[in-house]
């Protein structure tokens, strides 16, 4: 019986490319002890009954590929600013490292984004617009600052850091005359969407993947990177005032 179940499990993990999300969620929860939960995801794509695309639409009158790609969020908010990229049901406090719960969630919702609940014993993060993020990483690399994993979407990059508290963060930011509003801090009660999720902004990927090895990835202290992130955000084309998701 064990061999049969093992074969069925392998087939499930190979089906349609979807098992990658389940595998990522299980790895985070069990190998790294990072609490995760499924994100709300995007509305199901509408598939036309037939016909070729013509001018962005199919000959049958159904939306073409370009229009189907811009799918709205599955949550009730028609103007959701972060489509697919946030918790909804279950809520954020349901995040867990329990393998059974993770398997149940992604077996029922195999396309759900992988959401990391930040803070506590889990990693925290600092995110900023992608252009500023690339500048910040270049500056940190230039000065030989060791970085941990960096999550990237087409619009924003998130640098994972060791857990920090609000008091520590407040002291760090107090020394800056101005902190751009496009710089976001994901601590206790926050979250970050992890690869290989698909959200409204596009594919979530590792700009800096976690180092290979056993145990959870090494993470830097927020104090070692925050100055570079503030500087890079301030020098962004819009002055760092736009909160780009």
Tens-digit pLDDT profile for residues 150-160: 999 999 999 99
Beta strands in 15-109 (DSSP E): 36-38, 53-54, 57-58
Q: Is the pLDDT of residue 130 over 90?
A: yes
* DSSP single-letter state for residue 96: B
Q: Is the pLDDT of residue 99 over 50?
A: yes
**63 strand-pairing partners:** 57
Specify the pLDDT at position 242. Answer: 47
Highest mean pLDDT among 78-82, 162-166, 192-196, 238-242: 192-196
Ranking 111-125, 161-175, 190-204 by mean pLDDT, the lowest is 161-175
Q: Is the pLDDT of residue 98 over 80?
A: yes
* Band (49; pLDDT cuts 50, 70, 90): low
* Band (165; pLDDT cuts 50, 70, 90): confident
Specify the pLDDT at position 234. Answer: 80
Task: Please state, in angstroms and rounded to a whole number, the distance separating the CA atoms of residues 229 and 137.
Answer: 9
Q: Is 175 helix (H, G, I), strand (E, B) or coil?
A: coil
* Band (47; pLDDT cuts 50, 70, 90): low
Q: List all residues 6 or more positions away from 64 whose beta carbon is below 8 Å from its beta carbon.
A: 53, 54, 55, 56, 57, 58
Q: Is the pLDDT of residue 35 over 90?
A: yes
Q: Which of 151, 96, 155 is nearest to 125 (CA)?
A: 151
* DSSP single-letter state for residue 4: H
The encoded tokens of residue 125 equal: 């993060």
Residue matched to tokens 């992988």: 114
């Amino acid at each position: 019986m064990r061999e049969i179940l093992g074969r069925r499990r392998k087939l499930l993990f190979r089906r349609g490319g979807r098992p990658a999300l389940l595998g990522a969620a299980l790895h985070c929860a069990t190998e790294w002890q990072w609490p995760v939960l499924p994100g709300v995801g995007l509305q199901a794509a509408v598939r036309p009954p037939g016909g070729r695309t013509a001018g962005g639409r199919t000959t049958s009158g159904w939306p073409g590929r370009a229009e189907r790609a811009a799918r709205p969020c599955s949550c009730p908010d028609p103007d959701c600013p972060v489509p697919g990229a946030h918790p909804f049901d279950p809520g954020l406090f349901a995040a867990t490292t329990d393998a059974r719960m993770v398997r149940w969630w992604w077996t029922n919702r195999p396309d759900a984004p992988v959401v990391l609940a930040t803070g506590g014993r889990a990693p925290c993060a600092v995110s900023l617009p992608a252009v500023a993020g690339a500048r910040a990483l270049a500056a940190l690399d230039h000065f030989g600052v060791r970085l941990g994993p960096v999550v990237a979407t087409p619009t924003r990059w998130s640098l994972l850091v060791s857990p920090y508290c609000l008091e520590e963060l407040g002291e760090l930011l107090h020394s800056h005359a101005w902190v751009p509003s496009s710089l976001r801090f994901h601590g206790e009660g926050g979250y970050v969407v992890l690869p290989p999720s698909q959200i409204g902004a596009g594919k979530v990927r590792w700009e800096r993947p976690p180092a290979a090895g056993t145990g959870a990835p090494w993470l830097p202290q927020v104090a070692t990177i925050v100055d570079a992130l503030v500087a890079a955000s301030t020098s962004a084309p819009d002055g760092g005032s736009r909160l780009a998701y």
